[in-house]
Amino acid sequence: MAFETQMLSSNDESIELAAKLIQQGEVVAMPTETVYGLAANAFDEHAVAKIFRAKERPADNPLIVHISELTQMTDVASQIPTLALSCAKAFWPGPLTMVLPKTPRIPSITSGGLETVGIRMPSHPTARALIDAAEVPLAAPSANLSGSPSPTCAEHVLKDMNGRIPLILDGGVSDAGVESTVICFEPEAIKILRPGAITAQMLASVTPDVRIDKGVLHAVDNSQVVASPGMKYKHYSPKANVIIVDGSPEQFKDYVLSSGTPGTLCLIFGDEGMDNTEMPCIDLGLSSEEQAHNLFDALREADERGAKTVYARCPKLDGVGLAVYNRLIRAAAFEVVKL
């Protein structure tokens, strides 16, 4: 192990220590309102290279740059359309990432070789305090090993990053539970590249023309050039084989009871009649917000419980449900049983 990884409760002292480490070119894990992030100085290519190594992340998968003040935006983005300013006013600080042309200060490694960069202003007080104390924008992807479910608490981060980074700031369980909504701009239109807690309906308050990239709902071929590089990789996958089962609660119950074998576990939304069966279940909750909040923890728990097959109910496609569906369909490698 290169590092003895420390996990400290987030407070003034630990944030100060984390900021010092970042200024020395190190990587630290920080809580955000979406999921935990692995943060380093976005301007320092050697520090950013350590993020890629710690996560074993493919070099062409860009990182999101986190700022705490609007004035930092011009250090990161070279052009800021009016629509972007309207979005910042409406949704920052919060779980919205905007893809804009990058400044030369952002090294190519941070943007995965692209001429654009994803920028976000998080609302979590620890993330904001750390950016302030480090006095630089922080490049921060989700703090999981590449391919595994994103971490929604400090213990998840420790599991993936123990020995790989010096410090984890523990700021409790992430509120949203899914990563930020990623958008780019077309003249007078917003395009959603990755759905999150800021929904299409919410973005429509800024412009009526909100589009959804086809990679949100469908698999993208590895040879294709994609708008959002993260969408082409295997993602959010537990060791168990995840299968989405699309049907009514009764059909779901009949299907899993007849197909399930020892080692089967179900992800359900409310009890839906499964409570009087012997089938092991994790209840993600009735609302899309609860499902988003609980999803990654449930995928990690499925592995801890030794599940071989996970049958999941099919999420709704509207509101935050689109983000739940987008993550679950990737965890399931696009395997859906339609009843």
Q: Do the Cβ atoms of 132 and 154 come closer than 8 Å?
A: no
Binding mask 214-233 for ligand AMP (x = CB under 6 A): -------------xxxxx--
| Side-chain half-sphere exposure of 131, counting CA atoms within 13 A | 26
Residue span 64-93 as binding mask against ligand AMP, x where in contact by CB under 6 A, dash where not:
x-----------------------------
Whole-number Å distance between alpha carbons of 252 and 94? 35
- Does residue 142 belong to the site contacting Mg ion (CB under 5 A)? yes
Cβ closer to ligand AMP: 10 or 150?
A: 150
234 Cβ neighbours under 8 A, 6+ residues apart: 147, 330, 333
Give the whole-angstrom CA distance, residue 64 versus residue 327: 18
Taking the complex as a whole, how short is the minimal distance between the CB of residue 235 and Mg ion, in angstroms?
Answer: 7
The continuous run of DSSP H or E covering 336 comes out as strand 336-338
Choice between 57 and 313, CB closer to Mg ion? 57
Q: Which of ligand AMP, Mg ion, none interacts with 62 (beta carbon under 5 to 8 A by kind)?
A: ligand AMP
Tell whether residue 291 is a contact of ligand AMP (CB under 6 A).
Answer: no
Q: How far is the CB of 207 from ligand AMP (least distance, A)?
A: 19
User: Of 74, 252, 98, which Cα lies nearest the Cα of 183?
Assistant: 98
Q: Which of 289, 294, 295, 256 is nearest to 272 (CA)?
A: 256
Residue (142 or 181) nearer to Mg ion, CB: 142
Q: Using CB under 5 A, count the residues that bind Mg ion.
A: 1
* Exposure string for 310-339, b = 16+ CB within 10 A, e = fewer: bbbbbbeeebbbbbbbbbbbbbbeeeebee
Shortest approach of ligand AMP to residue 64 CB, angstroms?
A: 5
Q: Which of 40, 193, 216, 328 binds ligand AMP (CB under 6 A)?
A: 193
Decide whether 116 or 294 has the Cβ nearer to ligand AMP: 116
Choose the contact partner of 177 out of Mg ion, ligand AMP, none; CB within 5 to 8 A by kind. Answer: none
Name the closest residue to ligand AMP (Cβ).
230
Identify the three-state secondary structure at position 274: coil
Smallest separation, CB 123 to Mg ion (Å): 19
Taking CB under 6 A as the rule, which mask of x and - marks residues 124-153 in contact with ligand AMP? Answer: -----------------xx-----------
116 interacts with, out of ligand AMP, Mg ion, none, CB within 5 to 8 A per kind: ligand AMP
Which has the closest alpha carbon to 109: 72, 64, 60, 76? 60
Q: CA of 114: how far to CAs of 101, 117, 118, 233, 313, in Å?
A: 9, 7, 10, 17, 37
Q: Is residue 62 within the footprint of ligand AMP (CB under 6 A)?
A: yes
> Per CB under 6 A, which of residues 151..190 are in contact with ligand AMP?
179, 182
Q: Which residue's C-beta sits nearest to Mg ion? A: 142
- Angstrom distances, CA of residue 330 to CA of 151, 191, 228: 16, 20, 14
- Report, in Å, the least distance between residue 126 CB and ligand AMP: 17
Please check whether residue 171 is in contact with residue 109, taking contact to mean a CB–CB distance below 8 angstroms. no
Residues in contact with ligand AMP by CB under 6 A are 61-64, 99, 111, 114, 116-118, 141-142, 179, 182, 193-194, 227-231
